[in-house]
Structure 1
Amino acid sequence: MPHATTRDGTKIRWKELGEGRPVILIHGWPLSADSWDPIMIKLADSGYRAIAYDRRGFGHSDHAAKGYDYDTFSDDLADVMKETGATNDVALVGFSMGGGEIARYMNRHGGKGVSQTVLVSSVVPYMLKTDDNPAGVPQSTFDEMTDGMKKDFRHFFTGFFEDFYGDGILTDKVSQEEKDWAWMTTMHASQYATLQSAGAFATTDFRPDLAHFKVPTLVIHGTKDATVPIDATGRAVADAVPSARLIEYDGEPHAVFATQTDRLANDLLAFLGEGGNHTVKADSEKSSQMA
């Protein structure tokens, strides 16, 4: 399987389907690029080159000893783009914590090569509840998550995926096999990377990055997302970014890639069909520093 070697020597596994305009899909915590498989197939069948990669510490990428911060994550994205040759008229699609890579890339790398962005159930712009972010998630919730992972890593994720997929009292939105896959995928991740990445998406403030979204942006978020609340994230992006358009999935949980696969694919294709060719050419000084 192909790997990109990042600037700090970490090997990042990536995969692709199809030919045409590149669409890079960034997975959420604590899964892998494989979570995008059904969407990749639909994109490839519609004439796009779908590329997905495993974040460092997850899936089949190196379990690096460091680098679990969004500056490094965005550098990894830049290195994957370079390795795959996806450097012009690129659409970036980020799910959950994957939205953070996009936000930081648009700032740190000047959005170089990107013509459209999509944030799906994304943690952008700020997850943590503070005085100036009252709709965020309390620090105590993240502390409980950390304590649960440290106490019994495997048991913690059994319960976590119930909210992630929106299990109900009478009916579940996905099969038990889907949840089993998610649990097994998580067990292949580095526990250290999982803990460090949780800290990164919980506390990173992407609000300063929002001004750098200068291309058409689609925001998709479920109104019943108990993992990443829509008021602090999807709706906040739609209010702050002039180029952003929000589609709310009424009653849907966090994992819309699985609970609303066809709808998500159709919304992505409709947005992509509006065209790229608005590619940002990064500021020459910033580009040379980040290359």
Structure 2
Amino acid sequence: MPFITNKTTQEHVDIHYKDYGNGQPVILIHGWPLSHQAWEGQISAIVAAGYRCIAYDRRGFGISSAPWDSFDYSTLASDLNTLITDLKLEKAVLVGFSMGGGEVIRYLTDFGTDKIDKIALIASIIPLVKKKEDNPEGVPEDGLNAIMDALQTDRVGFLKDFHKNFYNFDDNKGDRISTAQLDYDFTIASFASPRATLQTARAWANTDFRSELKNVTVPALIVHGDSDNIVPIETSGNQAAKGIKNNTYKVLKNAPHGLNVTHRKELNTILLDFLKQ
């Protein structure tokens, strides 16, 4: 199993990754609280289209190292930078799903665009999740606090219900998602580090990326579902599209947060068209 080791942080952290295909590198950064396995529906399509596809497990998730601390976005971006540096990648495309969009933007802020050709933000938290006076459509703080409390009192119980909302399962009566997929996601999420699950939740809930949108100077794709119950489109996709100059914005009708599964074909078509441009 391939790993890269980030030795720049206080603790040396081993990051597990999968590396398939040849051609221009496309790096997939998964959402919370899953692993690189969440990209199953995209990896094969990207490789078949002639690209090199690299998907990795965020620290604390999958089979990457699980340190006790250091889950802020600059540290997470340093893991990504180590991957890019160690694999000697050039003209890479960064694709961030949900909280993975934060690594994308923070990477551009901390390390620039010399090795980056394009970015894609899929159902991303960018630029801000939390409701504030100047972000009235965000998630109320008491709702975010309830998530943090649940992760500390009944983490697996919370995760069991979380994924139903992830896919709007009750609304679509399972037409686009199977109960087996819910079970699969729950297994991945429940085996993640409890500490990492909590600390990364605090990172995506509290980090404001609005001032960093100016650092996106490469072409950007933004894809969001208009029925996203986890990351409301008004506080994410709509704002990201306004704040990033050179972007292509695609809104998927009736798509939930987990649109990479429920709207796999639509997303793959959009993503591959963007890669070919």
**Matches of residues 267-278 of structure 1 in structure 2 within 5 Å?**
267-274=270-277
Match of 1:247 among 247, 250, 274: 250
Whether contact under 8 Å (1:126, 1:136) holds in the other structure is yes
Matched, 1:40 2:43: yes
One-letter amino acid matched to 2:178: S
**Matches of residues 99-248 of structure 1 in structure 2 within 5 Å?**
99-169=101-171, 171-172=173-174, 173-248=176-251
The Cα of 1:169 is off from its aligned counterpart by: 4.3
Percent of aligned pairs with the same amino acid: 37
Match of 1:19 among 11, 18, 22: 22
Give unpaired runs (5+ residues) of structure 2: none
Corresponding residue SS for 1:66? coil
Judged with a 3 Å threshold, the aligned counterparts in structure 2 of structure 1 residues 170 and 260 are, in CA distance, closer, same or farther, namely: closer
One-letter amino acid matched to 2:243: A
The Cα of 1:26 is off from its aligned counterpart by: 0.1
Q: State the match for 2:86 in structure 1.
A: 83
Matched, 1:5 2:8: no
Moved over 3 A (4+): none
Q: State the match for 2:31 in structure 1.
A: 28
Judged with a 3 Å threshold, the aligned counterparts in structure 2 of structure 1 residues 216 and 190 are, in CA distance, closer, same or farther, namely: same
1:214 and 1:170 map into 2 onto residues whose CA distance is 38
Corresponding residue SS for 2:169? coil
The Cα of 1:167 is off from its aligned counterpart by: 1.0
Output the TM-score relative to the length of structure 1: 0.92
Q: State the match for 2:75 in structure 1.
A: 72
Number of aligned positions between the proteins: 273
The Cα of 1:143 is off from its aligned counterpart by: 0.8
Whether contact under 8 Å (1:124, 1:206) holds in the other structure is yes
Matched, 1:59 2:47: no
- Higher mean C-alpha deviation, range 238-247 or range 23-32: 238-247
Whether contact under 8 Å (2:29, 2:97) holds in the other structure is yes
1:208 and 1:104 map into 2 onto residues whose CA distance is 11
Whether contact under 8 Å (1:27, 1:97) holds in the other structure is yes
1:170 and 1:52 map into 2 onto residues whose CA distance is 29
One-letter amino acid matched to 1:93: V
Corresponding residue SS for 2:114? coil
